Structure 1
Amino acid sequence: MNRVIERLSGSIREYRRDSILTPGFVTLEVIMEILIPLVLAGLIDDGITAGNMNIIVKLGLVLLLFAVMSLVFGVLAGKYAAAASAGFAKNLRHDLFHTIQNFSFANIDKYSTASLITRMTTDVTNVQNAYQMIIRIAIRCPLMLVFAFLMVVGIHAELSLIFLVLLPLLGIGMYLIITRAQPLFELVFKTYDSLNKVVRENLRGIRVVKSYVREDYEIKKFRNVSASIYGYFSHAEKILAFTSPLMQAVVYASILLISWFGAQFIVLGSLTTGELVSLISYSMQILMSLMMLAMVFVMITMAQASSRRIVEVLDEEVDLTNPADPIFTVANGDVEFRDVGFRYTKDTDREVLKDISLKIHAGETVGILGGTGSAKSTLVQLIPRLYDTTKGTVLVGGVDVREYDLNTLRDAVAMVLQKNVLFSGTVRDNLRWGNPDATEEEIVRACRMAKADEFIGTLPDRYDTRVEQGGSNFSGGQKQRLCIARALLRKPKILILDDSTSAVDTRTDAQIRQAFKTEIPETTKLIIAQRIASVQDADMILVMDAGRICALGTHEELLQNNAIYREMYRSQMKGDDV
């Protein structure tokens, strides 16, 4: 737990001052509240009982002053506690998001998207609430407890023994409650991940859900996960519910015992009426402090599970880092694979890529074909270091990709992935993801090459047309062409299209490839495709199977020498004359 606290405390940063001022004002607030019952005792004994109006006025004004000062210090403590906790949460979310942005694909594969979202929202909120209570309530309660108990001892030592009997009983009860509730809260937050996953999948695939009339199935799935959370939470709350009756039992027992024995001491003359009133006030302060401490412990119990989940992400070791002396220039678009092998996880013997050796010259167009699961996408993701090879070497521009500065390498390699992602904003905003400084002429030229200008010209606001979340107001083919234009704006040395023209018609596909050939002849182009027509004009075609290159050559060479390619061609082109 010390490691978790140390790791989280690094996110306090500029809010350290607020975090220090809060306990200071809390201490002053507690001092004022401790003095009030003492002054009240004098007011009763020396003023009201003695009938001395001067004392009543004098001590009444002192009471008013202490009450106002307590209020002011309490307001300041609340102000700085809110600023410190909100700032701490802001920094913590920033640190989490920054860490995730540096993740490689391998790191991201370890966590579900829903889990990362829960950690950045629900878990951070739990830690924020706990932090605010720690710097304020957890400081106030022990101080109030100690000072009030010392005042009780000073007023009447024998009556203070009541607390020495009751407090250990309360402590044992609270310990039993908390140790049984904490494991349940850990289960709750793990189940929150599942709930977020169900909601996220449903919203992203809502069109599929409705087209297959699976609303009832999705509702049942959501209800089951929600019921699990309800079950864990209700069980935990049932356990925590014992806190209130336990506290009330101790409070009422202490008041009754103090009243009973206090009355006897008044009769014996060892205690005054004012002192008995102040004793009851101090007993309430002690017991209210214990009750508030119980709330702090409950919040900390919930936050413990959340803090461990947050630190797990913050401590995730990023497996792709810059070298000590990185290279900041990519000479050209040459690509070479030297005896490359790859596994997604180090603790498995299953190789996804095996014995890949390949040389691609700058400006060449390379087609990559293969069945589902043949590792086509994995192969090209090694070029911009989205993954690192398990063995062997990938070279770009004649240099091992691990020797480049990561940003420099990825700026030189533009990828259009299988999933075409557009972000909320305008068409122009999305295109400028490829190059924030792109001119209007460059945007138009990239769209013309990607054949996106055709449909952009028909949009009501052209390049200023709004893109809804996920690009839902654009067709699959339109999104693909926009993503290709976005990649072209980077003016990359290497362009990778991962099945990125599957949703466009063959005519448009051919036009895009012709534009590549004439407009960016020096850019190396790797095209993963399912249609042979998309790659048959390539300088070289790879046929992959089970993570290996099983054939390599031009379209004509593969037709003559490779049965797999020939069968694919016949089935797609119906080339019975071949």
Structure 2
Amino acid sequence: MELTALLRGPLRGHRGRLALLVVLQLLQASALLYLPTLNADIINNGVLTGDTGHIVRVGAVMVAVTVLQVVCLAGAVRLGAYIALSVGRDLRELTFTRVLDLSATELARLGTPSLITRSVNDVQQIQTFLLTGLTMLVAAPVMGVGGVLLALGQDVPLALLLLVMVPLIGVLMLAIVRRLRPLQRVVQRCADTMNRVLREQVGGVRVIRAFNRDGYERQRFAAVNEELTGIGVRSGRLSTMMLPLAATVTNLFCVPVVWLGAYRVDAGQMQIGALTAFLGYLSLILVGIISATFALMSLPRAEASAERVAEVLRTRTSLTPPAEPVTVLPRPGHLELRDVEYRLPGAEEPMLRGVDLVARPGETTAVVGSTGSGKSTLLALVARLADVAAGQVLVGGVDVRELDRSALSRAVALVPQQAWLFAGTVASNLRFGRPDAADAELWRALETAQARDFVEAMDRGLDSEVTQGGGNFSGGQRQRLAIARALVARPGIYLFDDSFSALDHATEMRLRAALATEIAEATVVTVSQRVAAIRHAERIVVLEAGVVAGVGTHDELLADNAVYREIVQSQLTEELA
């Protein structure tokens, strides 16, 4: 079972607590089962004989047993809650760590909405089942089996009825659980879909309103919501059948038990205290069945969730960590791509093939090309967000697949087009790459990135709040803050993936001029759609359909390269060029 395999590891560190929990559950269940026997003793040897002293003595024992049962139960519940919550914490940490290790390819295959659901909702379902199981399911078999055995000690003919009742309830419960399992898998998949649709609609609310698609999106949400509700109702109906079904069967068996018990008492074949004890055991058996039912109700969903979490944990990243990672770069700032090829899994044609590129400290290398030519993919390979299918990407003279991750992050800073800021403050975002940076360094980076003016205008300056994703800043402000974040890290290689697209022409020119002075000795690789912005680069690489179509300066390519000339002519006239 996937659930058992998944829990085996996290539970291994709680062996001592689990053993103590089992002992406490056994003690509390045994104490509970002992009470009807004591009650029978009081009736038979105290009430019927008029022995008040015996009633007091056995009554005192009953009080002591009850106190023991309550203390053991409280301890077991506390331990069970601690173990379940700890396992939930460990599973979330394992899932989060694995997600961080995955490449862009695996992340795209699993999907962001699904990963969020698996890391939060699915782990919560497993945690809930574990909590219910540890606090109820351990004692339930003891209550059921112990109740039957002790009932046999009171009266064998009556106990034969229990030997029919308990297996019957067990068969009914298992039949319901079997039908619930496939439904719960569908419920979790529908939850993924709901998460995805909500993320799309909330994130794209401006586009929805701009195109007046509110009605369509409401219908789309309603369809997903209706599907989730329908599956949830079917699952809920089956789940809620468990408890009334177990109680009904038990109560139906109470009728022949009382009738036959009364007959045997009247015939002198059974004492009244034994019948009272027998009815007490029947109630305890019902309590055990109800406890097991609560645990079984959450089992199918926990199994479905365990399969989904295990799928994430089983996913092996294509970014294999090096056996002996290199931490020192022999040629800091040097970047080279040798005959690089990259393809998506299952794709017939590679996205990049035969790409050669050299970028040196103190130089700016620009990458241009039509949409879909592989420009952003090329930068992603340098930052090792994905691995090449063939060839090599060398940073500082070392293949990125052999570099220590920390060494690579110190050497390379990627500024994506879609700048992402984290919830916190401006300072916490700027220090993302170098936590020990001083405030003066932050202000200098902001000034270079042309962001100092709007940060100073904020009430708290560097301590001003940044909402999730930087939603309280404009697109151009987010891009400038992302560039400042890269400057604070002070890497040897800067990768700008069309990172100036949201800026107006004047701001972009000032920013590029400031960067030329600030990072003059660093290696700069920039992707841009604007030829005017990269025309002065020492080297321009032209990509066309994943292949290098030309390398040279602006003037050289304009004279000799048809692809580059077409790009220039789409933006400028040759006279202006």
Number of the residue aligned with 1:475:
474
- Contact 2:242–2:297 (8 Å) recurs in 1: no
**CA deviations over 1:317-340 (Å, ceiling 9, x no partner):** 122133222210123222222111
Range with bigger deviation, 560-569 or 430-439: 560-569
Q: Match of 1:225?
A: 224
Query: Matched residues in 1 for 2:61 and 2:80: separation?
Result: 28
Aligned Cα root-mean-square deviation (Å): 1.7
1:237 Cα offset (Å): 2.0
Match of 1:422 in 2: 421
Post-superposition Cα deviations, 1:489-511, rounded to whole Å, max 9, x if no partner, equal 11111100001001112222222
* Residue 332 of structure 2 is aligned to residue 343 of structure 1: no
Q: Deviations over 1:49-91 (max 9, x none)?
A: 1111111222222222222221121111111111111121112
Contact 1:126 1:302 in 2 (8 A): yes
Range that drifts further, 16-25 or 278-287: 16-25
**CA–CA separation in structure 1 for the residues paired with 2:76 and 2:296:** 20
- Alpha-carbon offset, residue 106 of structure 1: 2.3
The 3-state SS of whatever aligns with 2:110 is coil
Kept in 1: contact 2:413–2:493 (CA 8 A)? yes
Partner of 1:498: 497
CA distance in 2, matches of 1:249, 1:504: 71
2:14 & 2:89 partners in 1: Cα distance? 10
Calculate the TM-score normalised by the size of structure 1: 0.96
Q: 1:12–1:91: 8 Å Cα contact kept in structure 2? A: no
Q: 1:19 to 1:219 in 2, by over 3 A?
A: farther
Residue identity in the other structure for 1:388: D
**AA matched with 1:194:** T
Partner of 1:86: 85
User: How far is the alpha carbon of 1:15 from its aligned partner?
Assistant: 4.3
* Structure 2 equivalent of residue 112 of structure 1: 111
Alignment of 1:303-452 (within 5 A): 303-330=302-329, 331-345=331-345, 347-452=346-451
Q: How far is the alpha carbon of 1:296 from its aligned partner?
A: 1.5
Q: In the alignment, is residue 184 of structure 1 matched against residue 183 of structure 2? A: yes
Cα pair 2:535 2:554 within 8 Å, conserved: yes
Q: Aligned to 2:10, what secondary structure does the other structure show?
A: coil
- 8 Å CA contact 1:570, 1:576 repeated in 2: no
- Contact 2:334/2:360, CA 8 A, preserved across alignment: yes
Deviation at residue 244 of structure 1 after TM alignment: 3.5
Q: Secondary structure at the match of 1:572?
A: coil
Bigger shift: 61-70 or 35-44? 61-70
Q: Structure 2 matches for 1:126-205, cutoff 5 A? A: 126-205=125-204
Is contact 1:15–1:87 with CA below 8 Å preserved after alignment?
Answer: no
Deviation at 1:93, TM superposition (A): 1.2
How far residue 408 of structure 1 moved from its aligned partner, in angstroms, is 0.6
Answer yes or no: is the 8 Å Cα contact 1:106–1:344 preserved in 2. yes
Aligned partner letter, 2:183: L
Kindly state the Cα deviation for residue 14 of structure 1 after the two structures are TM-superposed: 5.0
Asked if 2 retains the 8 angstrom alpha-carbon contact of 1:4 and 1:307, the reply is yes
Shift of 1:253: 2.4
Contact 1:321-1:406 within 8 A present in 2 as well: no
Aligned to 1:237: 236
Shift of 1:197: 1.2
Contact 1:105 1:387 in 2 (8 A): yes
Partner of 1:515: 514
How far apart, in 1, do the equivalents of 2:456 and 2:46 lie? 90
Say which SS state the counterpart of residue 306 (structure 1) adopts.
helix
The 1:253/1:566 distance shift into structure 2, 3 A limit, reads same
Distance in 2 (CA, whole Å) between partners of 1:360 and 1:577 is 28
Supply the distance in 2 between the matched residues of 1:242 and 1:434 (Cα, whole angstroms): 55
TM-fit CA distance, 1:273 = 0.4
CA distance in structure 2 between the aligned counterparts of 1:323 and 1:394, rounded to whole angstroms? 14
Secondary structure of 1:136's match? helix
Q: Which moved more, 1:459-468 or 1:526-535?
A: 459-468
Aligned to 2:255: 256
For 1:175, give the aligned amino acid: L
Q: Quick one: distance in 2 between partners of 1:390 and 1:333? A: 24
Task: Give, in whole Å, the separation in 2 of the partners of 1:380 and 1:185.
Answer: 42
Structure 1 residues 267 and 81: CA distance shift in structure 2, 3 A = same
Letter in 2 for 1:144: M
Residue deviations 1:359-396, cap 9 Å, x none?
Answer: 22232211111121111000111112111100111112
2:347 partner amino acid:
T
Q: Is the 8 A contact 1:16 1:84 kept in 2?
A: no
Q: Distance in 2 between matches of 1:577 and 1:99?
A: 52
Q: What SS does structure 1 have at the residue aligned with 2:541? A: strand
Contact 1:8 1:311 (C-alpha < 8 Å) held by counterparts: no
Partner of 1:51: helix, strand, or coil? coil
1:50 maps to what in 2?
Answer: 49
Distance in 2 of aligned mates of 1:59 and 1:463:
73
Residue 292 of structure 1, CA deviation: 2.2
Indicate the larger mover: 251-260 or 236-245: 236-245
Q: Distance in 2 between matches of 1:455 and 1:203?
A: 27
Distance between the aligned counterparts of 1:319 and 1:4, measured in 2? Answer: 26
Distance 1:16 1:202 in 2: 46
Question: 1:563, 1:100 → 2: CA distance?
Answer: 43
Partner Cα separation in structure 1 for residue 450 and residue 44 of structure 2: 94
**Structure-2 change in CA distance of 1:94 and 1:192 (3 Å):** same
In 2, distance between residues paired with 1:521 and 1:242? 73
| Equivalence for 2:123 | 124
1-structure distance, mates of 2:226, 2:32: 45
The Cα of 1:13 is off from its aligned counterpart by 5.7
CA contact (8 A) 1:137 1:296 kept: yes
| Aligned amino acid, residue 151 of structure 2 | V
More displaced 10-residue stretch of structure 1: 79-88 or 217-226: 217-226
Structure-1 residue corresponding to 2:36? 37
Query: C-alpha separation between the residues in 2 aligned to 1:572 and 1:171?
Result: 76
Inter-partner Cα distance in structure 2 for 1:130 and 1:462: 47
Identity %: 35
- What SS is found at the alignment partner of 1:434? coil
Which segment is superposed worse, 410-419 or 68-77? 68-77
* Between 245-254 and 9-18, the greater mean CA deviation after superposition: 9-18
Mapped contact 1:450–1:484 kept (Cα < 8 A): yes
Conservation of the 8 A alpha-carbon contact between 2:165 and 2:250: no
**Which of 375-384 and 444-453 deviates more?**
444-453
2:429 counterpart of 1:456: no
SS at match of 1:543: strand
Structure 1 contact 15–88 (Cα < 8 Å) conserved: no
Output the CA distance in 2 between the equivalents of 1:370 and 1:213. 34
The size of the alignment, in residue pairs, is 576
Asked if 2 retains the 8 angstrom alpha-carbon contact of 1:537 and 1:555, the reply is: yes
For residue 571 of structure 2, give the secondary structure of its aligned residue in structure 1: helix
Instruction: Give the counterpart letter for 1:58 in structure 2.
Output: R
Offset at residue 577 of structure 1 (A) = 6.5
- Contact 1:118/1:192, CA 8 A, preserved across alignment: yes
1:134-184 CA distances to partner (integer Å, 9 max, x unpaired)? 222111010111111111111112221112222332222222211111100
Name stretches of at least 5 consecutive residues in structure 2 with no aligned partner.
none
AA matched with 2:338: R
Greater shift after overlay, 98-107 or 229-238? 98-107
1:516 shift after superposition = 2.6
What is the aligned partner in structure 2 of residue 63 from structure 1? 62
